[in-house]
């Protein structure tokens, strides 16, 4: 679920990740990460791709896998290619070492592909990308209860956090430990024009307030308790807590105008400011940083402000969608 642009590849047009256009239309139209964390030493680019998850190709003409590493630039003026796969936690970097990546094989399965990586991390390998897409009703025409890729109405495209919740709730050896999804809510819980921008009216508030990257909570008067070191803030502390527990965080945000990725690392860069902090993600549509290894990074502070999907996700779940699962 994402971008609308088309790129020239192998002499043909390949659509990147799906958007609000019908996925079947995308398929028919198609013809055919990153500055280093300070903990990673510069290595030869050929040695910095980690282990990738294998699987069937459900759309030979689409998906990130169709790029086939065509955008790789081993000697790159703009990006370095750190070895995210072999990075280890140190005094400023927290990372899930040897996290295997996967490139989605359709334009609309970033949610199932992100889930597949997390399941593999936990040693669960009985599902394919398609199994998860079916189980999560990804881009399904809800009127006919069709197969993934048949969506033709707003709210059906991609994989909502609610659909993820419904699926993971049925998996016997998993538990949902943290999620933005709320199955029940009242009208008074929704944002109104009095407390939100017009684009966010009708949404549930995000789990983290604007002060969360800079403060640990609120005092008795309701004022933020600002912290000296961002790692003690509510937002950063939440990420580090899950990573310390060996739990990737599936997040849906504004990348590709609506995209699921997995947070697998966080680097404070050894400074107290959040301004230079880096979030490391496993990206199922990793086609634009000149090294298709399935890893991506983004400034943490900017990510926080872009942590919303107003394009694909249905209301009231557009703000800060996330899902954390673990083994029972």
CATH code for position 202: 3.90.70.10
Contact 165, 323 (CB under 8 A): yes
Instruction: Please check whether residue 14 lies inside any domain of the structure.
Output: yes
Contact 200, 313 (CB under 8 A): no
* 269 located within any domain: yes
Q: What is the pTM of this model?
A: 0.86
Q: Is residue 244 part of a domain?
A: yes
Asked if residue 97 is part of any domain, the answer here is yes
Give CA–CA dist 107/307, Å, rounded: 21
Asked, for residue 1, whether it belongs to a domain, the answer is no
Per mean pLDDT, which range of 40-49, 99-108, 212-221 is the poorest?
40-49
The two structure tokens encoding residue 55: 């699987």
* Any domain includes 137: yes
Show the tokens assigned to 247: 């739990």
The mean pLDDT value for 92-107 works out to: 98
Dist CA 195 CA 163 (whole Å): 28
| Residue 31 near residue 63, CB atoms below 8 Å | no
What is the predicted pLDDT for the residue at 47?
Answer: 52
Report how many domains make up the chain.
1
For the stretch 254-289, pLDDT in tens is 999 999 999 999 999 999 999 999 999 999 999 999
Is 162 among the domain residues?
Answer: yes
**Domain residue limits at 163:** 6-327
- How many CB atoms lie under 10 A from the CB of residue 131? 14
In angstroms, rounded to a whole number, what is the distance separating the alpha carbons of residues 117 and 138?
A: 17
φ/ψ region of 31 (left if φ > 0, alpha if ψ in -120 to 50, else beta) reads: alpha
What single DSSP character describes residue 214? T
Average pLDDT in the 55-68 region?
93
Q: Read off the pLDDT of each residue in 211-230 and give the average, rounded to a whole number.
A: 98
Is residue 29 very low, low, confident or very high in pLDDT (cuts 50, 70, 90)? very low
């Amino acid at each position: 679920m994402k971008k609308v642009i088309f790129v020239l590849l192998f002499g043909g047009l390949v659509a990147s990740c799906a958007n609000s256009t019908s996925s079947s239309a995308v398929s028919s139209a198609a013809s055919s990460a990153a500055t280093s964390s300070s903990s990673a030493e510069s290595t030869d680019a050929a040695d910095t791709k980690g282990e990738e998850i294998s699987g069937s190709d459900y759309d030979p003409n689409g998906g990130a896998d169709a790029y086939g590493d065509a955008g790789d630039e081993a000697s790159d003026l703009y990006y370095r290619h750190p070895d995210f796969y072999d990075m280890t936690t140190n005094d400023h970097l927290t990372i899930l070492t040897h996290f295997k990546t996967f490139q989605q094989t359709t334009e609309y399965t970033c949610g199932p592909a992100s889930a597949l990586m997390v399941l593999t991390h936990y040693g669960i390998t009985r599902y394919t990308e398609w199994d998860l897409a079916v189980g999560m009703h990804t881009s399904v025409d809800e009127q006919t209860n069709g197969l993934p890729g048949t969506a033709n109405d707003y709210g059906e495209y991609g994989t909502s956090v609610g659909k993820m919740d419904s699926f993971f709730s049925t998996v016997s050896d998993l538990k949902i430990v943290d999620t933005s999804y709320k199955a029940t809510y009242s009208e008074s819980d929704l944002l109104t024009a009095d407390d939100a921008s017009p684009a966010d009216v009708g949404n549930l508030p995000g789990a983290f307030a604007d002060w969360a990257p800079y403060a640990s909570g609120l005092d008795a008067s309701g004022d933020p308790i600002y912290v000296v070191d961002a790692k003690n803030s509510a937002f950063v502390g939440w990420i580090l807590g899950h990573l310390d527990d060996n739990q990737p965080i599936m997040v849906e945000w504004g990348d590709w105008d609506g995209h699921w990725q997995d947070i697998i690392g966080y680097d404070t860069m050894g400074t107290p400011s959040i301004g230079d902090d880096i979030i490391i993600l496993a990206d199922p549509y990793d086609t634009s940083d000149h090294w298709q290894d399935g890893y991506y990074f983004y400034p943490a502070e900017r990510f926080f402000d872009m942590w919303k999907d107003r394009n694909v996700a249905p209301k009231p779940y557009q703000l800060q969608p996330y899902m954390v699962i673990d083994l029972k």
